[in-house]
Amino acid sequence: MPELPEVETTRRGIAPHCEGQRITQVTVRNASLRWPVPDDLAERLEGQTIRTVDRRAKYLFLNLDGGTVIVHLGMSGSLRVISDQAPPMTHDHVELKLQSGVVLRFNDPRRFGCWLWSDAADSHPLIASLGPEPLSAEFNGGMLYRLSRSKKTPVKSFIMDNHVVVGVGNIYANEALFKAGIHPRRQAGRISLDRYHLLAEAIRETLSAAILMGGTTLRDFVNSDGKPGYFAQSLLVYGRTGAPCPECETTLKEIRMNNRSTVYCHRCQR
């Protein structure tokens, strides 16, 4: 599933082509996504100008004068800016033709993504209860420490909770916990403030690096230009079960947590 770095990479890829552009035509080929595409989407969008393209967690916002289109890529979705001469592919479900002549096309083989309309995106039920952005000033070790008190849940599950902080998906949780030297099963409430400072910095560092490298390519994900991300080549532990730890050369172990692969070094992570 595309995570925060992949979604941010997509935002940066499409924004220069979309911002300031008037929508001249909306085509919905298949409205049966995770939630049905609104029947009146074309009526709402045609003739409006995309003012900004923003991101909140893993949601993209196409901000217009009269409201916002909330887009989620789901498990296999992608947004591409293409020539209007390019014929649609099998899973191209929604597209916006822009005044410049290019097309913003949404492809989603599994159809777990969404295109929704909101008059006020920040108060939408999908958005209102989300935690802070991990690259914002609001997110820090002190915040994690305060929220974790009395929590018996494993720290990996804690930092993957979107009510605590958004965008720390499975891959990036593995990597950040390794960098901070924290065992993924350690109870969140039993981690000190100093170690949470280390973890918050590791989360910021990991996500920032992934964004710079265009995200992590796993299975379906490609950028808005159709090119894969390269952060997977820099992963320290995720996907490296049985390989030597990059720090101490101890064999990396794998466990399952909430049906997710969790790779760690039993010597470096406590």
Residue 35 is predicted with a pLDDT of 96
- Euclidean distance between CA atoms 173 and 169, whole angstroms: 6
Between residues 80 and 194, the one the model is more confident about: 194
Please report, rounded to a whole number, the percentage of residues in the chain having pLDDT higher than 90. 83
Residue 3 is predicted with a pLDDT of 84
Could you tell me if 36 and 111 are in contact, meaning their C-beta atoms sit under 8 angstroms apart?
no
Structure letter (DSSP) for residue 123: G
- Euclidean distance between CA atoms 61 and 16, whole angstroms: 14
224 band by pLDDT with thresholds 50, 70 and 90 = low
Task: Tell me if 110 is assigned to a ligand binding site.
Answer: yes
Backbone angles phi, psi at 136, to 5 degrees: -95, 165
Task: Tell me if 11 is assigned to a ligand binding site.
Answer: no
Which of 74-78, 97-101, 149-153, 191-195 is predicted with the least confidence, judged by mean pLDDT?
74-78
Which DSSP string corresponds to 162-198?
TTTSS---HHHHHHHHHHHT--TTSBGGGS-HHHHHH
Q: Is 205 an annotated catalytic residue? A: no
Q: Is 267 an annotated catalytic residue? A: no
Strand partners, 105: 80, 95
Which DSSP string corresponds to 9-43?
HHHHHHHHHHTTEEEEEEEES---SSSPPPTTHHH
Task: Tell me if 151 is assigned to a ligand binding site.
Answer: yes
Q: Is 184 an annotated catalytic residue? A: no
232 band by pLDDT with thresholds 50, 70 and 90 = low
Domains of the chain: 4-123 (3.20.190.10), 141-264 (1.10.8.50)
Residue 215 is predicted with a pLDDT of 58
219 band by pLDDT with thresholds 50, 70 and 90 = very low
Q: Is 19 an annotated catalytic residue? A: no
Catalytic residue among 11, 58, 80, 156: 58
Strand partners, 52: 63
**Cα atoms in the Cβ-side hemisphere of radius 13 Å centred on 242:** 0
> Which pTM does this prediction carry?
0.89
